Amino acid sequence: MKTNLNKKQTIAIAAIAAAGIVLGALILGTGGSKETPPAPKAQEQAAKKDDHGHGHEEVEGRLELTAAQIQAAGVTIAEAGPARIKTTVSLPGEIRFNEDRTAHVVPRLAGVVEAVQADLGQLVKKGQVLAVIASTELSEQRSSLLSAQRRLSLARSTYEREEKLWHEKISAEQDYLQAQQAWREAEIAVQNAGQKLNALGATGGGKGPLNRYEIRAPFDGMVLEKHIALGEAVKEDANIFVISDLSSVWAEIAVPAKDLATVRVGGKAEVKASAFDASAKGVITYVGALIGEQTRTAKARITLSNPDMAWRPGLFVTVAVVSGEADAAVTIASEAIQSVEDKPTVFVQIKQGFQATPVKLGRSDGKLTEITQGLSTGTPYAAQGSFVLKSELGKDAAGHEH
């Protein structure tokens, strides 16, 4: 009985050992199979890469768009390339009257206003009558001229008669010389009276009243101020009209001390309006020699042609002053640059759509910007419509977060 039990135990032990061997083999087989999956994953990742070695959905900043979608979004494509960039300094400014073409009209004679023929905002021509005043002083000046003219006429007749008598040996030479002297003095008196009237801007009077004084426009321009009324007594130095020729205006800017080396007389500048889309090119005509104690800036101005009256005094502007020009190896349109995650980014065209590519910026003239790192010459990019691509990229990022 004891012997049989030992055989059964032996058989049981052998069976347990065999089961342990089989179980161990299974365990070892399973552990070995865990090292093989990387091969399929590598194949899967390789399958998802495009011809340039970039992934599709897994690559950050990628937008997959068809040609029809690109066209519908209004995106236009351009190539990065070399260009000559102007380095500029932008300064705030304001349009002002051209003081060289602005006049404060004064009567130059005291009198009473008889007529006012110009209104505020009216365009007037050179020599056009603005107002009429009655002046006693003018009447006296014209009377003096008329008297001098009559004396001159009499002196001329006397001289001609004495000259004839002297040649005929009838009168003495002394009478002839006295007549000649009187005639020349009468001529001087007429010239003097005429010049006084010319200095007042008045004529000899003609057939009209001697006291009628016409105040005329000194040049073509617009009436900006009017300080005169019918029946009013005005003094000779009263500022009755302000007229400015708005066909030429000044863009006045405040130049910080650090930019005075850039802003120089004769330099080129571009003026852009702040309130609407308008720009004009001009030349710096004046730079102040003194720096303000409070503002620590110097005044400078650019003279602008204003044939359409678009540049109105008081309009705020931005003035871009050219400080230098240089060649840049890689440039793109400035409007193509977008800020993505606080980094300047350009949307580069790839086979499946666009790739948001961070770049480093160099010089810029507002229209073109130099790229110092991130793009190479000939790279196609979204020149217009990049803001739409940025919006789509933000939508995709929000979708992945959810």
Region 246-253 average pLDDT? 92
Please tell me the class of the 88-99+245-325 domain: mainly beta
Q: Indicate if the pLDDT at residue 140 is higher than 90.
A: no
| Residue range 102-133+214-244 in CATH 3.90.226.10 | no
Angle at 285 between CA 284 and CA 286, to 5 degrees: 100
Mapped onto helix, strand or coil, the DSSP state of residue 115 is strand
Q: How far apart are CA 377 and CA 366, in angstroms?
A: 20
Residue 365's pLDDT is 78
Q: How far apart are CA 370 and CA 366, in angstroms?
A: 11
Q: How many CA atoms lie within 13 A of 52 on its CB side?
A: 12
Q: Indicate if the pLDDT at residue 166 is higher than 70.
A: yes
Q: Token match 């005291």: residue?
A: 110
Q: Note whether 62-85+326-401 and 88-99+245-325 share their fold.
A: no
Question: How many other β-carbons are positioned within 10 Å of the β-carbon of residue 291?
Answer: 14
The percentage of residues in the chain with a pLDDT greater than 90, rounded to a whole number, is 43
Residues 335-369 pLDDT 10s = 999 998 889 999 999 988 999 999 999 888 778 89
Instruction: Give 240's pLDDT tier (boundaries 50, 70, 90).
Output: very high
Residue 141's pLDDT is 87
Residue 43's pLDDT is 37
Task: Answer for the pair 133, 105: CB distance below 8 angstroms, yes or no.
Answer: no
The fold adopted by the segment(s) 136-210 is Helix Hairpins (1.10.287)
Q: Which of 154, 83, 92, 138 is nearest to 316 (CA)?
A: 92
Greater pLDDT, 398 or 328: 328
Region 255-276 average pLDDT? 87
Residue 22's pLDDT is 53
Q: Indicate if the pLDDT at residue 245 is higher than 90.
A: yes
Q: Indicate if the pLDDT at residue 257 is higher than 80.
A: yes
Residues 386-396 pLDDT 10s = 899 888 887 76
Q: Flag the least confident range among 122-131, 153-162, 195-204.
A: 195-204
Please give the full DSSP string across 324-354, using - where no structure is assigned.
EEEEEEEEEEGGG-EEETTEEEEEEE-SSEE
Greater pLDDT, 89 or 21: 89
Structure tokens that stand for 16 in this block = 């347990």
Residue 12's pLDDT is 60
Task: Answer for the pair 320, 269: CB distance below 8 angstroms, yes or no.
Answer: yes
Q: Flag the least confident range among 15-19, 157-161, 244-248.
A: 15-19
Q: Flag the least confident range among 115-119, 201-205, 235-239, 350-354.
A: 201-205
Instruction: Give 51's pLDDT tier (boundaries 50, 70, 90).
Output: very low
Task: Answer for the pair 152, 187: CB distance below 8 angstroms, yes or no.
Answer: yes
Q: Indicate if the pLDDT at residue 176 is higher than 90.
A: no
Q: Indicate if the pLDDT at residue 253 is higher than 70.
A: yes
Domains of the chain, by residue range, sit at 62-85+326-401, 88-99+245-325, 102-133+214-244, 136-210
Backbone torsions φ then ψ of 21, nearest 5 degrees: -65, -45
Q: Token match 């321009």: residue?
A: 221
Task: Answer for the pair 354, 390: CB distance below 8 angstroms, yes or no.
Answer: no
Mean pLDDT of the chain, nearest integer: 83
The fold adopted by the segment(s) 62-85+326-401 is 2.40.420
Give the E-state strand segments of 259-367 in sequence order.
268-273, 279-287, 297-305, 316-333, 338-340, 343-349, 353-358, 360-364
Residue 57's pLDDT is 46
Residue 367's pLDDT is 85
Q: How far apart are CA 215 and CA 212, in angstroms?
A: 10
- Tell me which DSSP letter residue 366 carries: S
- Tell me which DSSP letter residue 55 carries: B
Q: How far apart are CA 133 and CA 213, in angstroms?
A: 5
Region 242-270 average pLDDT? 89
Residue 18's pLDDT is 63
Task: Answer for the pair 281, 366: CB distance below 8 angstroms, yes or no.
Answer: no
Backbone torsions φ then ψ of 174, nearest 5 degrees: -60, -40
Instruction: Give 50's pLDDT tier (boundaries 50, 70, 90).
Output: very low
Region 167-188 average pLDDT? 89
Note the pTM of the prediction, 2 decimals: 0.56
> 22 exposed, middle or buried (CB, 10 Å; 0-12, 13-18, 19+)?
exposed
Q: How far apart are CA 266 and CA 271, in angstroms?
A: 15
Structure tokens that stand for 67 in this block = 């040609």
Instruction: Give 1's pLDDT tier (boundaries 50, 70, 90).
Output: very low
- What is the rounded (10 degree) CA torsion for 369, 370, 372, 376? 100
Region 359-383 average pLDDT? 90
Instruction: Give 23's pLDDT tier (boundaries 50, 70, 90).
Output: low
Residues 57-109 pLDDT 10s = 456 788 888 888 888 888 999 999 999 887 778 899 999 999 999 999 999 88
